[in-house]
Amino acid sequence: MDRALQQARLAAERGEVPIGAVIVGPDGLVLAEAGNQTEADRDPTAHAEMLAIRAATSRLVASRLIGCDLHVTLEPCPMCAQAISFARIRRVYYGASDPKGGGIEHGPRIFNQPTCHHRPEVYPGIGEREAGDLLRAFFRDRR
């Protein structure tokens, strides 16, 4: 989670919402890491999780990330949760909960839907305080 938090800090420095993600392979090695880039890329899908998934699948030359784990600083949104399921990620560790935009424990709860074909193990609250502090500071500075 430390690497995901570092990616979140870097995203904030670029003026992006401070969310970072890291994908770790079955062997424990980091396959990909990313921070949000929606503003820079002018792409509403350029969330940290999506970028990390794309980079990890590219690195592995595979469409699935079986046995891989995702560490992300904020509860993934519904779009990212669905991508996590499609990628067959084994475990999701996330920091802060997102009651407004989350898709795992809030909102549509993607992994609980009968149409969800893969349900990763989910571990919330990892690095929650620091992740939440980064987000609060970012939005406080913009108001």
Cβ contact 135:127 at 8 Å: no
With CA atoms as reference, report the closest residue to 36 among 27, 45, 24, 28: 45
- What's the CA gap between 29 and 23, in Å, rounded? 9
The set of catalytic residues is 49
In 97-140, DSSP assigns E strands to 121-123
Which residues share a beta bridge with 34? 21
Residue 1 DSSP class: -
Total Cβ atoms within 10 A of residue 23: 26
